[in-house]
């Protein structure tokens, strides 16, 4: 992506940008020339690097609104501007609704919906006062567009996040564009926790029309595009990065053509 999109001179923040999908997004932005600042509650085991460049890191609890505001103020003061925010931080353990109390499920919603809202509001206060405005990218999930047993609160939060992005795109135009990348399964260093061994991962990949799980770099390339001038007229959109989605179960269950 860096060969055709140049983000040199721009500044990006990637929440949860130190591992997994977030690290893939961070690397893609670095490769495209952006200066990248990552944040998470805990520092990474090693800095995220790409193309001979290294992302900065700041510890941050995205659930602390005052700390989030202070963080984005520091980014602006140190770098002079903020062009891109990728709201990547999130996730949830597998837990059926009846196995966890309301407070546990509420924490999942807080991390996956309220934290991106808090970060976006703080970023908007920086972006709207600068020439060129900015771009916010929400990292959504197919779990927000279909039933999500075992991660119901996560799915509900991701559904809300996509709607939130669409509303932000209307309210914050024309200064700030807001879009969502809707992800299917992504292969990361934690995939074994969700899908088991290599055979399990491969089996899940075969359910995707393109025949494999996404790589973090695939997600990163989509985020680079949405951050760039090539997406200057794209706002309020949901870009599906899911390899074609899921083959409908009824096709495999039907007796026709078997």
Write out the E strands in 73-129. Answer: 84-87
pLDDT for the residue numbered 188: 74
pLDDT for the residue numbered 249: 81
Cα angle 103-107-113, degrees, rounded to a multiple of 5: 135
Task: Give phi and psi for 28, each to the nearest 5.
Answer: -65, -40
- pLDDT category at 252 given cuts 50, 70, 90 is confident
pLDDT tens, residue by residue, 221-249: 999 999 999 999 999 999 999 999 988 88
In the CATH scheme, what is the homologous superfamily, with its name and number, of domain 11-253?
A: NAD(P)-binding Rossmann-like Domain (3.40.50.720)
Is the pLDDT at 258 greater than 60, yes or no? no
Q: Whole-model pTM?
A: 0.94
Active-site pick, 124, 154, 195, 233 = 154
pLDDT for the residue numbered 109: 97
Q: Is 154 a catalytic residue?
A: yes
Q: Is the dihedral of CA 86, 37, 73, 108 positive or negative?
A: positive
**What value does the mean pLDDT of the chain take?**
93
């Amino acid at each position: 992506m860096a060969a055709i999109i140049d983000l040199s001179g721009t500044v990006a923040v990637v929440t949860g940008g130190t591992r997994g999908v977030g690290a893939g997004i961070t690397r893609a932005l670095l490769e495209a020339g952006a200066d990248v600042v990552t944040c998470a509650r805990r520092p990474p085991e090693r800095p995220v690097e790409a193309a001979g460049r290294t992302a900065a890191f700041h510890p941050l609890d995205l659930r602390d609104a005052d700390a989030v505001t202070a963080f984005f103020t520091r980014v602006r003061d140190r770098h002079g501007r903020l062009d891109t925010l990728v709201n990547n931080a999130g996730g949830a353990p597998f837990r059926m609704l009846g196995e966890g109390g309301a407070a546990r499920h509420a924490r999942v919603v807080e991390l996956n919906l309220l934290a991106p809202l808090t970060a976006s509001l703080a970023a908007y206060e920086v972006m709207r006062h600068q020439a060129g405005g900015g771009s916010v990218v929400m990292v959504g999930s197919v779990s927000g567009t279909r039933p999500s047993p075992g991660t119901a609160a996560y799915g509900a939060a991701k559904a809300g996040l996509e709607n939130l992005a669409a509303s932000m795109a209307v309210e914050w135009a024309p200064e700030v564009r807001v879009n969502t990348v809707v992800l299917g399964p992504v292969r990361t260093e934690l995939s074994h926790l969700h899908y088991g061994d290599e055979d399990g991962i491969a089996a899940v990949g075969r359910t995707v029309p393109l025949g494999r799980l996404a790589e973090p770099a695939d997600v990163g390339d989509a985020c680079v595009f949405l951050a760039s001038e090539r997406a200057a007229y794209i706002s309020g959109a949901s870009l599906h990065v899911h390899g074609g989605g899921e083959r409908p179960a009824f096709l495999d269950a039907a007796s026709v053509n078997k």
